[in-house]
Amino acid sequence: MALLSGLLFITLGILLVTGVMASWLLLLALVLGGLAGAGVIAIIARILRR
Amino acid sequence: MITGVAAGLGRYTGIDPVVFRVLFAMLVIGSGIGIFLYVAAFLLMKEPNGGPGYVEQWTRRDFTPEAVFALLTGVIGFGLAMNLATVWLGTETLVVGTLLAVALLTAHANGVDLRAVARSLPESLNRRRAPDAPEASEADLGFPYGPDGVYGAHPAQPTWTTIRPAQPAWAPPRTPTPESASHRAPLREESAPETALNETLSDATLSDLSRTDLSRTDVSRQSASPPSYAHAEPFAPHGPFKPLDPYRRSPYDLRPQEFEEKTRPPRVRRRRSFVGVITMMLAIIVGGIVMAAQVGSGSAPDTTVIGGAMLITIGAGLLVAAWWGRGAGLVALGTIVALAIAGGLTFHSGLPSVGSVIWRPVSAAESSRLYEIGIGDATLDLSGLTLAPGSTTSFNASVSVGELKVIVPPTVRVEVHANVKVGDIKIDHSVRGGTDMKITKVLDPDVAPTGKVATIVLTVKGGIGDVEVRRAA
């Protein structure tokens, strides 16, 4: 979760600094969707590791 | 049948598991929330052997069945909110809303105090369990009382070996389900000695049946003819009686100290990590440096760039924290920063307008802009528009919540592309209402113009409300 969230934040930060992303709606969707996806993957990985 | 979720729910509630399977199927087909609900139930419910479920293991908590049901209700409620936000009143919304209402009414009809459950939810969710607790034994799960009625006096020999089916004192307090009653009959007829009963029921099977907590059922141990549910049902598996509503507990809260200590073991704290604090300070420093650089270069500070730089720092800190496994705080911090940036971008791009507005374009050059309003009533009056003969001009107008009225000249041909999420579309004299409607219609000129007919391509969009296109008088 931390790894995926870190990658998500770095990607979003780069997009924001370079000015590629200027839509608040897109940013909101990417943050929420990305965190949800990271959470789901983390859960699946946890189950598989058991 | 797959993971034992429906069977576990059925066992706890006394409702046939098929009902839960049908409900899950309806939610999967009617709305995608069924998949999330099943996964949530799988993660929240206890293990088939009575051990903590996945979420309980991760959070080191011990959820009560009421808390699990409340969380599952929350998942359905979230799905309903998502459906309302996306499709508003569609089939999906009706399916989820109806099932949620039926579930709540069923719970209420069965004596569940919904308000008390909601009030006690924070406490139910914060109930901690002992770290590295051994797997629940029969004494913990089935019989806290010994054969002579003393609490905690559990013999070394499994209690179920002393139970005879004819002993009514061990019958469960709950009303038996038809399924359980039907399976109990043959065992009552069987007046075999204890040894025969011992052979019939294995330890594992008994531990599955003797619990009243909300756990999944081990599908690998489900046999074609399940044995009776009447055996070894616990009388008070969670200790002395205590009302669910915390406001009504005071007269009953007379438990012995040892029981209190048994249920609330001290939590072993994890080693403190400084990665989060260091990253937060670094993010503030990086943000300050970027802002100073912008001010130094003579430009106004751009909050988006500053926030982006902080977000990169937090992301890098999370990658470091991933190694030590303490990144939850940084995820929250990064989310807050990202949401703050999104809020800043909202002000940059402009908030949706509110109020009542009338637009009166007079030339084709004014067609390039978007006629848009957030909440309110808008009128796009094209009656004063001057168009070249034979020309084609496009106009775009939209309203999120409210009414949009477009008045077109009588001498032009109009191509209308109307789209409304919820509401009515009225084009000339035809009216259509409903959800997510898309209508394309061509209106020929009412009055023949001098020269070739000009065309207006009109694209109107409405969120919640009515859209009307009519000719000028």
Secondary structure (H, E, C), B136-166: CCHHHHCCCECCCCCECCCCCCCHHHHCCCC
Q: B250: buried, middle or exposed (CB in 10 Å: 19+, 13-18, 0-12)?
A: exposed
Interchain contact, A9 vs B311, CB within 8 Å: yes
Strand partners, B377: B356, B403
Q: Ranked by mean pLDDT, which of B66-80, B128-142, B219-233 comes out on top?
A: B66-80
Q: How many residues does chain B have?
A: 473
- B318 and chain A in contact, CB less than 8 A: yes
Distance CA B221, CA B223 (A): 6
Model confidence pLDDT, tens digit, residues A4-33: 888 999 999 998 888 888 777 788 888 988
CB pairs under 8 A between A and B: 106
Q: What are phi and psi of B442, to 5 degrees?
A: -115, 125
CB B49 within 8 A of CB B42: no
Nearest Cα residue in chain B from A22: B345
| Cα(B136)–Cα(B147) distance, integer angstroms | 19
- Residues of chain A with Cβ-Cβ distance to B342 below 8 Å are 24, 27-28, 31
Q: Which range among B35-44, B78-87, B148-157, B160-169 shows the weakest confidence by mean pLDDT?
A: B160-169
Q: Minimal Cα–Cα distance from A42 to chain B, Å? A: 12
Q: Does B86 touch chain A (CB under 8 A)?
A: no
Q: Does B57 touch chain A (CB under 8 A)?
A: no
* SS3 (DSSP) at A37: helix
- Prediction pTM value: 0.38
User: Is residue B299 less than 8 Å (CB to CB) from chain A?
Assistant: no
Query: Span B199-219, mean pLDDT?
Result: 53
Chain B residue with Cα closest to A16: B308
The most distant pair of C-alpha atoms in chain B lies apart, rounded to whole Å, by 108
Q: What is the pLDDT of residue B406?
A: 93
Confidence of residue B255 (pLDDT cuts 50, 70, 90): low
Q: Tell me what pLDDT residue B464 has.
A: 82
C-alpha dihedral, B111 to B116 to B117 to B121, nearest 10°: -170
Q: Calculate the CA dihedral of residues B438, B444, B446, B450 and round it to 10 degrees.
A: 140
B227 touches chain A (CB under 8 A): no
Please report which confidence band the pLDDT of residue B209 belongs to, taking 50, 70 and 90 as the band edges: very low
CA dist B149 and B97 (Å) reads: 47
Do B12 and B69 meet the contact criterion of CB atoms below 8 Å apart? Answer: no
In the block, which residue shows the tokens 């969670």?
A: B238
Say if the Cβ atoms of A28 and B304 lie within 8 Å.
no
Would you call A16 and B304 a contact, using CB atoms and an 8 Å cutoff? yes
Which of B54, B311, B317 has its CB closest to that of A12? B311
Confidence at residue B396, expressed as pLDDT on a 0 to 100 scale: 92
Dihedral pair phi/psi, residue B398, rounded to 5°: -150, 155
Q: Average pLDDT of B440-446?
A: 90
- The secondary structure element, H or E, covering residue B422 is strand B413-427
Show the tokens assigned to B116. 């008390």
